[in-house]
Chain A
Amino acid sequence: MPGIKDKVAIIGMGCTKFGELWDKSAEALMVEAFIEAIEDAGIEPRDIQAAWQANQFTEINIGHAALPLANALKLPFIPVSRVENLCASGTEAFRAACYAVASGACDIALALGVEKIKDMGRSGLPRANEDIMAWGAMGKAIYPNWINPNPGMFAMMAMKYFERYGLSIDKGKEILAKISVKSHKNGALNPKAHLRKQVSVEECLKSPIIAFPLGLYDCCGVSDGAACAIVTRADKAKDFRKDPVYVKAIQIVADSGASLLYQGYDYTHVETTYRAAIAAYKEADITNPRAQINLMEVHDCFSITELVTYEDLMISERGKGWIDVEEGFFELDGKIPCQPDGGLKCFGHPIGASGLRMIYEIYKQLQGKAGPRQIKDPKLGLTHNLGGQPPRSVAAVTILGVEGV
């Protein structure tokens, strides 16, 4: 069966603090994440044989192509490429590096994601224009709120989820609040997180509405930051460290257009996540994810996204994710802790870096180096990195594990 299970291992990772980093440039962030990673791997920059740079908002003080990465790190005349798949860009770069190693094209590869959104000088994500929006000028011509569509496009999933599963708006919002409260609790334990304040369900519920029914605390932070991974062939990984983390699966799925334009889509789940999960479990030989996965970092750009992701990943049954939330299943001390590092919600969301930040947390947790938020003896961790919006998305699912699982 095709796949790269146990062919590639992570030997070093780095991640900057995420946040409103007014005093740091994209170059500074890339260098900071890179230094942590090469020190962690015990290698020199010249050992890197190929690199991939992930970022979405190239125009916000990063620049086109992969030269920003090659130049900032002074990579010595090696192949360096930029990849972009909306918010899933980080995992896309990681996949490219893993495939390069798995194919035998090189032995050591680097994936680095970075974003410098806060240089924009206003809140939210960069506003769409024909240069940076998904649909180009056609989007401006026909899309409602083409300038800033994300909160609304996810809010519509909450409306549909509540309706389908008979949750009143109040009850639904309370469930969503509990998801955010959990992430804030975890984020408060994480020195690298953007938002480190605990919040209560009541505070979440009375926060201003952004796009009904989603309020401020249903939305993730928007941040600057960088994260990177160094991967090598699994059979050589132990030459670098005693506790490498093995890649069990990486799958990325793009929507065919059916979720946007075809009435078959129910808007209470994200089809690409579901399909990527099926493929990843197959690649990793996982037959019962609820029993086998020990922790997760999912793409909680909005609280509702996290809720439907529990179900799309087949951790929770369809329509019952909210019951797992109520029962504390995803808390740090629950059965499958989700967002132990605070998630996008609190760790922050520098778009291109987020996929690699998720992998960073799983990597540290599997090595037992997650400090006060360490989960007891995890073997398998999952990341879920979603780009776009429920009806028009690309989803990445990565499964990482310790040796031999």
Chain B
Amino acid sequence: MGVGITSYGVYIPRYRLERKKIQEAIGWASPYFIPGEKAVANYDEDSVTMAHAASLLCTEGKKEVEVLYFASTTNPLGEGEAASIIMTALGLEPSVRTADFSNSLKAGTSALLSAFDAVKAGAKGALVCAADMRLGKPGSLLEMLFGDGGAAFRIGQEGVVAELKGHFSLSCDFPDYRRLWDDQFVKAAEERFIREEGYGKLIVQAIEGILKKYGLKAKDFAKVGYPCLNLGEYYRIAKQLGFESEQIQEPLLTQIGETGCASPLMILAWMLENAKVGENVLIVSYGNGSEALWFEVKEGIESHRGKVKRMFERSRPLLNYNKYLAFRKLLPIELELLGDIPSSQPPLLWRERKAILGLWGSKCKRCGTPQYPPQRICVNPECNAIDEMEEYWFANRPARLFTFTVDNSAETLNPPMIYGFVDFEEGGRFVFEITDCEVEEVRIGMPLRMSLRRKYEDRQRGFVGYFWKAIPAF
């Protein structure tokens, strides 16, 4: 069997902002309206945490990951590698080869194809994750269209559920969407120009290219999908290429929004979610050219069903546009001393990286008690064994809320802060913030899972402090 996808994960942030709410708030400044809603990353999320969250859903057999690639056009780090943060936070070994792919909307498929190359060249397995959270200017059409999310794929040779049968790449510097490194907002060229010269030609050329390269016809595929900010154009392109309606993958645009370089990967995951064994699917990226990837769906795909559906089921409405602006720091809000974060201590963050980024604790070999942060002397008062610990990874352990508070005095961009003591079901207790959780739903005993989040931003030292929070189980 050839190289292929062995598992996947998708991450859609919990909050959805109805586009109607955007129009109500800022429609006076803008003639645009499109229906549906957009997924909005919580205030403590970014592309690193979203890509990590998607990756966390496919960490089975993670020892086989020898290559980890992260793709994003909204990498929160200027200098510094996101992939190695994600690697540490997935509990992977530092022998993993990491790289960030950036800047291009096709960075997601570029990373994916590079990972296939690495596995073909002998790597046991690879993990590719991508996430984006692009900003359009308040009141712009792009703001309405963009959404936040991420996806992750495991690539390997054993247990393939979607084999890569072929691919075709097209690269060019088509001037459609652009952003300079120190700008927040994506700028677009004239919409009709992008539609006709960009989507209408580059996607078409990529698909025609792969069909010709492998002697295939449109009817050979069960599904085809690609990012496109214009739904009319999306369907027109497929029709032009000879795809029937039922072959065209329902786009994520209406429910999630356009998720940048993660978009083709999220569409692919959604295709796989519903694909049958033996079917062929065609996923195409767009941006600085276009890349088409042909997969054949294999046995075992059924065991992954529901991963995308679960993400849709956990959604909650974001009640107003101002909250979205505050989350993205587009609206400064009065919070005492929120920016006054004392400078961090790099030696400590380095020394404790496994505990902080990886959520590694320790487990006493004598009494079996898991404990976080890792201890040298067992915390169980009946045991107190000295130096009989083994490493213990808490990140994927189910947990329950032991007690909590809703703290109005805590400083957060999404007040009030909910936090509580989290009891891991297999043992171990620590106090964590509860995020992606409404005040009305928090209760003692609620099931939780752990999620990597932004904890603070240290502008003095130039880095983001990531740590784990608990979220309602899904």
Please name the residue on chain B nearest to A267 by beta carbon. B403
Pick the contact of B417: A129, A141, A145 (CB < 8 A): A145
Interface residues of A in 135-165 (CB under 8 A from B): 136-138, 140-145, 147-148, 151-153, 155-157, 159-160, 163
Please name the residue on chain A nearest to B469 by beta carbon. A144
List A contacts of B411 (CB < 8 A): 145, 147-148
The 8 A CB mask of B113-141 against A (1 = contact, 0 = none) is: 00000000000000000000000000000
List B contacts of A260 (CB < 8 A): 429-431
How far does the Cβ of A185 sit from chain B's closest Cβ, in whole Å?
A: 26
Interface bracket on B: 35 or more
The answer to whether the Cβ of B172 comes within 8 Å of any Cβ in the partner chain is no
How far does the Cβ of B85 sit from chain A's closest Cβ, in whole Å?
A: 14
With A122-B336, A138-B352 already in contact, the answer to whether A147 and B410 are too (CB < 8 A) is yes
The answer to whether the Cβ of B455 comes within 8 Å of any Cβ in the partner chain is yes
Interface segment, one of B202-210, B255-263, B291-299, B367-375: B367-375
The 8 A CB mask of A242-283 against B (1 = contact, 0 = none) is: 000000000000001110111111010000000000000000
Is the Cβ of A142 less than 8 Å from the Cβ of B381? no
The answer to whether the Cβ of A364 comes within 8 Å of any Cβ in the partner chain is no
Is the Cβ of B408 less than 8 Å from the Cβ of A211? yes
Pick the contact of B433: A124, A145, A156, A157 (CB < 8 A): A145
The answer to whether the Cβ of A72 comes within 8 Å of any Cβ in the partner chain is no
List A contacts of B423 (CB < 8 A): 263
The answer to whether the Cβ of B438 comes within 8 Å of any Cβ in the partner chain is no
List B contacts of A141 (CB < 8 A): 344, 348-349, 352, 356, 455, 465, 467
Is the Cβ of B427 less than 8 Å from the Cβ of A144? no
The 8 A CB mask of B374-415 against A (1 = contact, 0 = none) is: 010001110000000000000000000011111111110000
List A contacts of B406 (CB < 8 A): 209, 211-212
Is the Cβ of A211 less than 8 Å from the Cβ of B345? no
List B contacts of A144 (CB < 8 A): 410, 417, 419, 431-433, 469
Is the Cβ of B467 less than 8 Å from the Cβ of A262? no
List A contacts of B455 (CB < 8 A): 140-141
The answer to whether the Cβ of A208 comes within 8 Å of any Cβ in the partner chain is yes
Is the Cβ of A262 less than 8 Å from the Cβ of B431? no
List B contacts of A285 (CB < 8 A): none
Is the Cβ of B405 less than 8 Å from the Cβ of A212? yes
Is the Cβ of B352 less than 8 Å from the Cβ of A267? no
Is the Cβ of A261 less than 8 Å from the Cβ of B349? no
Interface residues of A in 366-405 (CB under 8 A from B): 391
With A122-B336, A127-B337, A144-B432 already in contact, the answer to whether A262 and B405 are too (CB < 8 A) is no
Is the Cβ of A258 less than 8 Å from the Cβ of B379? yes
With A127-B337, A156-B421, A264-B381 already in contact, the answer to whether A210 and B403 are too (CB < 8 A) is no
How far does the Cβ of A132 sit from chain B's closest Cβ, in whole Å?
A: 10
Pick the contact of B379: A147, A214, A261 (CB < 8 A): A261
Q: By CB atoms of chain A within 10 A, which of B352, B375, B403, B420 has the most?
A: B403
How far does the Cβ of B420 sit from chain A's closest Cβ, in whole Å?
A: 6
Is the Cβ of B405 less than 8 Å from the Cβ of A156? yes
- Expressed in whole angstroms, the Cα–Cα distance for A141 and B349 within the complex equals 8
Nearest 5 Cβ contacts at the A-B interface: A144-B433, A129-B342, A155-B405, A144-B419, A212-B406
